[in-house]
Amino acid sequence: MTNKNVSNEKSIPLSHGIVRQDRKLSDGRTISYYDSKTIMREAIDTRPVEKRPGLGELRLDALTNEWVVMAAHRQARAFLPPKELCPLCPTKPGLQSEIPESSYEVAVFENLSPSLALAQSDWKLPEYDGLTTPIVDAAGFCEVLCYTDNHEAHFGTLSLEQIRIVMEAWRDRTREISKLPNIAHIFAFENRGVEVGVTLHHPHGQIYAYSYLPPRVEKMLQIATDHLAKHSRPLITDIIAREVQDEVRIVAQNVDWIAYVPFASRYPFEIHIAPKVFTSDLAELTDTQADSFGAVAKESLQRLDGVFGIEMAYMASWHQAPVHVGRSALGLHLQITSIRRAPGKLKYLAGSESAMQAFIMDLKPEQSAAQLRDVKI
Amino acid sequence: MTNKNVSNEKSIPLSHGIVRQDRKLSDGRTISYYDSKTIMREAIDTRPVEKRPGLGELRLDALTNEWVVMAAHRQARAFLPPKELCPLCPTKPGLQSEIPESSYEVAVFENLSPSLALAQSDWKLPEYDGLTTPIVDAAGFCEVLCYTDNHEAHFGTLSLEQIRIVMEAWRDRTREISKLPNIAHIFAFENRGVEVGVTLHHPHGQIYAYSYLPPRVEKMLQIATDHLAKHSRPLITDIIAREVQDEVRIVAQNVDWIAYVPFASRYPFEIHIAPKVFTSDLAELTDTQADSFGAVAKESLQRLDGVFGIEMAYMASWHQAPVHVGRSALGLHLQITSIRRAPGKLKYLAGSESAMQAFIMDLKPEQSAAQLRDVKI
């Protein structure tokens, strides 16, 4: 059975001359292409339709009042397939991948084995009520964002032009997913390297849209809200002011963006990249901010790879304001963390970090910032 | 330079016929031997005295109001030394280890490169005050607890008699460290397996005594306090009642202890072992509870190793009530977590777990409990 719908459902102009085109995959999921060139995306997904997995569960951990997603259907997901079978490469003779086109610039589609997915229209998040809190469907939305069709590339080695398309996709996805029902928070991130559990080598990020405020966001929101009430300035604005004043932890900057090792970093190498002017989320970035992000991001990642002269495993996590609350309190910033503390040594989040959430750092932030700045690029 | 102090400073009878003897290492640290047999611990540490590392720093992460320990002096600590150079084996010809005796049952000593150490007597934890919170010394205390002098053993394969000595050491350390200045919380734990960052293979645990409430404890304390006020019963008591009623997640039990996969488990394999009667901490366990712990612990760990027929990497973390607050709200339990989701696959705490603290589980707790129960032991 193949999908017979060949019409180009949508072609939407975005900023910087980038156009989005939406298509359907054979199982009904949407794939969106983001292109800087004029090209019609008409390839048809001819794969047989497979049954989509059901929804997982949200259960409340009564010890912490935190939601845990039970997504048992994900256990069989693709795990480090060989390059010839990469599901994120373009479709080519002998490979029917997730992307029907034979080439693409940036492509985004709903995750085949999503942790969170759209629920029934009457879905509602229960209040915390300890042990009597009901189990509900794991509502939300998960997407895969392919940074390029070049399997061997890395985000940090993309051209500035290509990063600009990725940025446009991030902005557009944040805008679009914000409109979906029951979305409380949108989290765009990338894991790079098998050391942090990457299961597909192709350069890509993910977007998790939660139907609840994740524990870390809930806590940051409360603190940022208190700070705004007390000081009439967003917390991130004051944090950036301290970094500018202290100077020693700055890694890179331009007119719009600043990259720094945070004052109380938790990982051997941790870089925060923030817009200098308070911005709630990716969707609210101005075109100017969107244009100038790539240079600071590229420099930061090149410095990270340069410290030990190896491709550093990292997690890159966009912290943004929740969709409906705290829009003027919680500011956008990208948190890049690496667990590599020396060429042959990783920092493991073991006893103290995992069970107590008490972080122990082996490197002072000023020391790792100096190492990052010393890299010749 | 060698330590000339050869007198046996202390010999303290504990329960179950176990005796503690305290000695000094050459650099002034105390080593405590816990013995079930009558044996004088008189071996002298003849290693040259090396300068002890200075104190690290506590810095407040203003985004989360969480303390981060900066312990840069730990970067050069021992990392997977070969067996012949194991610092936790007894001293023998050609090896001067941390333990001067030529054999031992259980030995505990202050960590050579501690993350947290005793501070000046006027040390005081600052209040949270955002960006103006001062940096202070990383006050606290860290110990290494050697489970046996047999380098090849594992906690789960120790005899019940040997586990009883370890338990007596845990109780005694909790009691003793609670008396030290500026200790807010005591955390006894074990990391097992290189997959979770073990740097020494010799079977041992650690004790971290924090001068602040770790973030996880702070949160659990608040929820447990609210629950106690609302229901007049400790939260853990109601949690155990649910496990007993639901039955499907129970892994092992005896008269005093119950082992279960928690209702909202976060790891592919997670087992909580709790005393059936509310107990604040290890020091408050009765002798009967102390005696009967080993059987349930051994069975739980054997089941864990049996699931895939391999030695499972795990973290075993004692959650106890803080030293000075919440003594009737927060109950003792041991949390064992394993990141192995399949023989060749680990669960990584990547984007969602690390940056958002939002856990996604691949296995339902009822499913992993059934797998654990099905193991033939």
N-to-C CA span, chain A: 52
Pairing of strands B185-192, B314-319: antiparallel
Pick from A134-143, A186-195, B131-140, B226-235: least confident: A186-195
With cut-offs at 50, 70 and 90, classify the pLDDT of residue B81.
confident
Quick one: chain B helix, strand, coil %, rounded to 5? 30, 25, 45
Asked if residue A156 lies in contact with residue A206, where contact means CB atoms within 8 angstroms, the answer is no
Rounded Cα distance, A150 and B156, in Å: 48
Instruction: State residue B7's pLDDT score.
Output: 43
Work out the mean pLDDT of chain B and round it to a whole number: 93
Rounded Cα distance, A373 and B19, in Å: 55
* Interfacial A residues in 160-219 facing B (CB < 8 Å): 185, 187, 189-191, 196-198, 206, 208, 210, 214-217, 219
With cut-offs at 50, 70 and 90, classify the pLDDT of residue B4.
very low
Q: A262 in contact with B at a CB cutoff of 8 Å?
A: yes
CB contact under 8 A, B361 and A317: no
Which residue on chain B is closest to A330 by alpha carbon? B63
Mean pLDDT score, B186-207: 89
**Number of Cβ within a 10 Å radius of residue A288:** 11
Instruction: State residue B76's pLDDT score.
Output: 63
- The residue among B57, B186, B354 with the most chain A CBs within 10 A of its CB, best to mutate, is B354
CB contact under 8 A, A359 and B220: no
Helix (H) / strand (E) containing B169: helix B160-178
Work out the mean pLDDT of chain A and round it to a whole number: 93
Rounded Cα distance, A47 and B273, in Å: 48
Rounded Cα distance, B133 and A2, in Å: 62
Q: B235 in contact with A at a CB cutoff of 8 Å?
A: yes
What residues of B are in contact with residue A75 (Cβ under 8 Å)? 341-342, 362-363
Pairing of strands B30-35, B106-110: antiparallel
Mean pLDDT score, B280-294: 98
What residues of B are in contact with residue A317 (Cβ under 8 Å)? 351, 354-356
The residue to which tokens 């339990």 are assigned: B333
Rounded Cα distance, B279 and B272, in Å: 15
What residues of A are in contact with residue B223 (Cβ under 8 Å)? 62-65
Instruction: State residue B154's pLDDT score.
Output: 94
Instruction: Tell me the per-residue pLDDT of A334-362, one tens digit each, with 9 for 90 and over.
Output: 999 998 888 877 777 778 999 999 999 98
For residue A291 the two structure tokens come to 């244009």
SS (H, E, C) chain A: CCCCCCCCCEEEECHHHCEEEEEECCCCCEEEEEECCCCCCCCCCCCCCCCCCCCCEEEEECCCCEEEEECHHHHHCCCCCCHHHCCCCECECCECCCECCCCCCEEEEECCCCCCECCCCCCCCCCCCHHHCCCEECEEEEEEEECCCCCCCCHHHCCHHHHHHHHHHHHHHHHHHHCCCCCCEEEEEEEECHHHCCCCCCCEEEEEEECCCCHHHHHHHHHHHHHHHHHCCCHHHHHHHHHHHHCCCEEEECCCEEEECCCCCCCCEEEEEEECCCCCCHHHCCHHHHHHHHHHHHHHHHHHHHHHCCCCCEEEEEECCCCCCCCCCCCCEEEEEECEEECCEECCCCHHHHHHCCEEECCCHHHHHHHHHHCCC
Q: B68 in contact with A at a CB cutoff of 8 Å?
A: yes
CB contact under 8 A, A75 and B131: no
- Side-chain-facing half-sphere of A62: CA atoms under 13 Å: 24
Rounded Cα distance, A64 and A66, in Å: 5
Mean pLDDT score, B255-260: 98
What residues of A are in contact with residue B337 (Cβ under 8 Å)? 354-355
Instruction: Tell me the per-residue pLDDT of A37-56, one tens digit each, with 9 for 90 and over.
Output: 989 999 999 999 988 888 99
Asked if residue A223 lies in contact with residue B65, where contact means CB atoms within 8 angstroms, the answer is yes
Instruction: State residue B168's pLDDT score.
Output: 98
Is pLDDT of A3 > 50?
no
Interface size between A and B, measured as CB pairs under 8 A: 242
Residue A76 to chain B, least CA–CA distance (Å): 9
Q: Which residues of A138-148 are buried (b: 16+ CB within 10 A; e: fewer)?
A: bbbbbbbbbbb
Q: Which residues of A156-189 are buried (b: 16+ CB within 10 A; e: fewer)?
A: bbbeeebbbbbbbbbbbbbebbeeeebbbbbbbb
Rounded Cα distance, A98 and A33, in Å: 12
What residues of A are in contact with residue B361 (Cβ under 8 Å)? 68-72
Mean pLDDT score, A82-105: 94
For residue A246 the two structure tokens come to 């202290």
Instruction: Tell me the per-residue pLDDT of A118-176, one tens digit each, with 9 for 90 and over.
Output: 999 899 999 999 999 999 999 999 999 999 999 999 999 999 999 999 999 999 999 99
What residues of A are in contact with residue B345 (Cβ under 8 Å)? 79
Backbone torsions φ then ψ of B168, nearest 5 degrees:
-65, -35
The residues of B assigned a catalytic role are 204
Asked if residue B305 lies in contact with residue B377, where contact means CB atoms within 8 angstroms, the answer is no
CB contact under 8 A, B59 and A263: yes
Angle at B362 between CA A346 and CA B345, to 5 degrees: 45
The residues of A assigned a catalytic role are 204
* Interfacial A residues in 308-347 facing B (CB < 8 Å): 315, 317, 319, 335, 337, 341-342, 345-347
What residues of A are in contact with residue B209 (Cβ under 8 Å)? none
What residues of A are in contact with residue B335 (Cβ under 8 Å)? 355
Angle at A295 between CA A294 and CA A299, to 5 degrees: 115
Mean pLDDT score, B100-107: 98
Helix (H) / strand (E) containing B207: strand B204-210
CB contact under 8 A, A351 and B317: yes
Instruction: State residue B173's pLDDT score.
Output: 98
With cut-offs at 50, 70 and 90, classify the pLDDT of residue A204.
very high
Is pLDDT of B120 > 80?
yes
- Measure Cα distances from A117 to A57, A191, A204, B225, B307 in Å: 10, 21, 20, 35, 31
Which residues, in sequence order, are CB contacts of B53 under 8 Å at separation 6+?
A: B73, B74, B113, B114
Torsion of CA B146, B152, B154, B160, to 10 degrees: -80
Among the partner-chain residues B71, B214, B358, the one whose CB lies closest to the CB of A356 is B214
- This prediction has a pTM of 0.94
CB contact under 8 A, B361 and A208: no
Instruction: State residue B74's pLDDT score.
Output: 66
Helix (H) / strand (E) containing B372: helix B365-374
Residue B215 to chain A, least CA–CA distance (Å): 6
CB contact under 8 A, A355 and B196: no
Could you tell me the maximum CA-CA distance found in chain A, to the nearest angstrom?
63
Residue A33 to chain B, least CA–CA distance (Å): 24
Which residues, in sequence order, are CB contacts of B295 under 8 Å at separation 6+?
A: B160, B254, B257
CB contact under 8 A, A60 and B264: yes
Among the partner-chain residues A208, A263, A361, the one whose CB lies closest to the CB of B69 is A361
Instruction: Tell me the per-residue pLDDT of B300-354, one tens digit each, with 9 for 90 and over.
Output: 999 999 999 988 999 999 999 999 999 999 999 999 999 888 887 777 777 899 9
Instruction: State residue A275's pLDDT score.
Output: 98
User: What is the DSSP code (8-state) at residue B230?
Assistant: H
Instruction: State residue B3's pLDDT score.
Output: 38
> B236: burial class by Cβ within 10 Å (0-12, 13-18, 19+)?
buried
Instruction: State residue B6's pLDDT score.
Output: 39
Is pLDDT of A265 > 50?
yes
What residues of A are in contact with residue B224 (Cβ under 8 Å)? 63
Asked if residue A58 lies in contact with residue A136, where contact means CB atoms within 8 angstroms, the answer is yes
* Interfacial A residues in 114-143 facing B (CB < 8 Å): 115, 130-131
CB contact under 8 A, B75 and A215: no
CB contact under 8 A, A263 and B187: no
Q: Which residues of B249-288 are buried (b: 16+ CB within 10 A; e: fewer)?
A: bbbbbeebbbbbbbbbbbbbbbbbbbbbebbbbbbbbeee
CB contact under 8 A, A214 and B348: no
Instruction: Tell me the per-residue pLDDT of B121-141, one tens digit each, with 9 for 90 and over.
Output: 899 999 999 999 999 999 999
CB contact under 8 A, A210 and B358: yes
Rounded Cα distance, B298 and B19, in Å: 24
| Residue-range domains of chain B with CATH | 10-213 (3.30.428.10), 217-374 (3.30.428.10)
For residue B308 the two structure tokens come to 């895939």
Q: B359 in contact with A at a CB cutoff of 8 Å?
A: yes
Which residue on chain A is closest to B142 by alpha carbon? A352
Mean pLDDT score, B363-367: 93
% chain A with pLDDT above 70? 96
